[in-house]
Structure 1
């Protein structure tokens, strides 16, 4: 892997966002049929780019009428953004890109008959299927934890009501209380996010609950961007955030919801507020469709993103086995574009070239302190491997970090416009 300069890598990322396909006009009603399950970043991007071809009949199946981005939702927890500013609709996909949107859940996939069954019982026939199911939580990894636990110890890993619940709990917590974050094992959605959450909640505590503490009980012994986070924690929040690796605690074994206890192998933590983020796996529809392997994730061809288990079905986003590619919004967007181009080439019978894959991510440690990383990837030996990278450095000046935080706001606007064609 070779290093890139900030200017080079940001230029590449910006160029990717600016690559928008030809606007929709005059769709053929007799073209091949593509059904996309899941209207998150990966699914919406596939639908948009295939819709712009004008020769493909694209149907997006997504039960929610509004999508709230998980990325940047930690800013909401800190009181720095509203949920409305993170919320997007699907109207532009319909009006500008010719995508049909059905607001129902997909309940079953039959690869033999090439049909998707909806919650209403209606069946959609496809020529190609794209599944972008995001993540589900793996059961049985934390004792006494189930779906009902999240109503008391929220995960807030799907932005929306869970984010609002956690925000209310933080607001009502007495000064001097302990906020416990249970960080999950790898792999999981957005590797820096639990530690960004600790940082931004610490920013909130510093203003309004300065005697409070944050304990991160981790299932791992290291984490993404660790040195950058710990440098910033020492600068902004000395003594407020304690990170406990698995080797110190034996990781979380169970929770006691009634008593608000987080139990590890070696210690029990009494939490005023507990944010329990469980281990993760591919979304449930992927498992039902036979797209997951023993890992709980979906193996795919790294060039076309076609399932290696179910021909004719493609998978993009957090649900895949992504090699070096992290489970992130920008990764999902990049994979979705590659997938759309591969499907288009298959329909045309034309040659398909290996994709250029990218990830770009901004992480906040305070409102005016953010770091960034950007990586390019290539398909090599059947896997996705990192080829070039840029990451913010230790010891950067406050002015550099302020500029990075400012750039992050522009990145968010450009990125979500690329996916959804505009806000709510």
Structure 2
């Protein structure tokens, strides 16, 4: 951040006000700042505020006034949901739980002073800081692509306007046209996500443009629920989808957004729409705080505390914690453990052993739902998988429909748990 005299004076006044306000008001409450209002951050803020019964002053920093869930955004692309159905506001967190919701960007963290700097110039002091910023993309991960090309070749891995853009591009493809996806390397947000997305795009094209083709360039030799997706693609979209793994050059890919071409192992293909999902890393605020090692922020799974700063907890996609996948369910589960740890540290409430769970549902075609999941426990080294389950190939239509209906119920439950 660049400071001039006016900026310095403005932020200094804001900082002084923020630092002195609890003393002036006589509150003297411990202060928690949560950065990021998704499945991890919103849940953590709510559980800290609710569980402490007002004993902790909670501030949630999130630039967006409406949060669009990345989970279920593929169903919007496939025509199974409206965009408004995955949009959520923060009104109840403020009105019902007393959380101070600040719509601004966090642009700096001073770990020694325990302050967060906002883009608008204010400073927020904290006793504990919770970071749940989601993901950012690694520069240069896909040759020829960076975020300035996201309007021509959208990533749609941060839901909202990018989801709308990708859906519009798919629906505008010419008859018999070609759609390409550049899939990401591990680890990344929502491991089944790209393949559910391909399923939803194929569903749209089967109805609107049945002679269109889909190419997936994938650097991985296998992917989450691979057998289930490939079975579903053969059943619903036979001959439409061509998955190209690393054995055939799926790991040697570049794009030209201006020319709308994808080059796979030297072979150039003209495409009509292209979804580039680059390699990922922790949201940038984690790097700015100096709590990352490599691309992710390591944590102690017993409390979700950063291994580099005990006063910071990191949740969800941004953290390196062990065996759990990066998913909304995981972030929500981790947030409850972090909230318990924060309350125990600041109010002497009880701390219980950390337990976690995760389930990822995917829709392959109409009423054809599949799932994978596991339970986990925290060890000194990591969050470790205890046991797991996965849908099986050849399941009945009734079971697959029940799995899809289960996912609808889960979505309603988790978003209520996040936003009140």
TM-score by length of 1: 0.91
Q: What's 1:88 paired with?
A: 88
1:276–1:252 CA distance, 2 compared to 1 (3 A): farther
The equivalences for 1:11-410 within 5 A come to 29-52=27-50, 53-54=52-53, 55-294=55-294, 296-349=295-348, 352-410=351-409
Rounded to whole Å, the distance in 1 between the matches of 2:387 and 2:321 is: 16
Q: CA deviation at 1:77?
A: 0.9
Secondary structure at the counterpart of residue 299 of structure 1: strand
Is contact 2:244-2:250 (8 Å) kept?
Answer: no
Aligned partner of 1:7 in structure 2 is: none
1:258 CA drift (Å):
1.4
Contact 2:129–2:311 under 8 Å retained in 1: yes
Equivalent in the alignment of 2:7: none
Pick closer, same or farther for the CA change 1:82–1:188 going to 2, 3 Å.
Answer: same
SS of 1:166 mapped into structure 2: helix
Q: Which moved more, 1:363-372 or 1:380-389?
A: 380-389
SS of 2:298's equivalent in the other structure is coil
Measured at CA, do residues 252 and 77 of structure 1 come closer, stay the same or move farther in structure 2, by a change above 3 Å?
farther
Runs of 4+ in 1 over 4 A off after TM superposition: none
1:135, distance to aligned residue in structure 2 (A): 0.1
Aligned residue in 1 for 2:416: 417
- Asked if 1 retains the 8 angstrom alpha-carbon contact of 2:40 and 2:315, the reply is yes
Aligned partners of 2:262, 2:154: CA distance in 1, in Å? 13
Contact 2:217–2:253, Cα closer than 8 Å, also in 1: no
- Taking the aligned partners of 1:382 and 1:152, their CA distance within structure 2 comes to 43
Gaps of 5+ in 1: 1-27
CA distance in 1 between partners of 2:357 and 2:267 (Å): 41
**1:373 and 1:391 in contact (8 A); partners too:** yes
Structure 2: tracts of 5 or more residues without a match: 1-25
Q: What do residues 109-161 of structure 1 show as CA deviations (whole Å, max 9, x unaligned)? A: 00000000011111010000001110000001222211111110000000011
Q: State the distance in 1 between where 2:80 and 2:125 align.
A: 44
User: How far off is 1:274 after superposition?
Assistant: 0.5
After superposition, the Cα gap between the structure-2 partners of 1:376 and 1:198, relative to the gap in structure 1 and judged at 3 Å, is same
What do the CA deviations read for 1:86-126 (whole angstroms, capped 9, x no partner)? Answer: 00000010111111100111110000000000111110100
Tell me the distance in 2 between the aligned counterparts of 1:75 and 1:312: 38
Deviates more, 1:253-262 or 1:155-164: 253-262
Q: Distance in 1 between matches of 2:70 and 2:315?
A: 17
Deviates more, 1:268-277 or 1:81-90: 268-277
Aligned partners of 1:243, 1:258: CA distance in 2, in Å?
A: 24
Q: For 2:181, what is the secondary structure of its paired residue?
A: strand
Partner residue in 1 for 2:12:
none
Residue 412 of structure 1 aligns to a residue whose secondary structure is helix
In terms of mean alpha carbon deviation, does 382-391 or 40-49 score higher? Answer: 382-391
Whether the aligned pair in 2 keeps the contact of 1:367 and 1:405 (CA below 8 Å) is no
User: What RMSD in Å do the two structures reach over aligned CA positions?
Assistant: 1.2
SS of 1:396's equivalent in the other structure is coil
Deviation at 1:268, TM superposition (A): 2.3
- Matched positions, count: 393
Q: Deviations over 1:190-230 (max 9, x none)?
A: 00010001111111111110000111110111000000111
Question: Is contact 2:155–2:278 with CA below 8 Å preserved after alignment?
Answer: yes
Relative to structure 1, the CA distance from residue 68 to residue 250 in structure 2 (aligned partners, 3 Å threshold; closer, same or farther) is closer
The Cα of 1:250 is off from its aligned counterpart by: 4.7
- TM-score normalised according to structure 2 size: 0.91
Q: CA deviation at 1:328?
A: 0.1
Distance 1:156 1:96 in 2: 32
CA contact (8 A) 1:290 1:310 kept: no
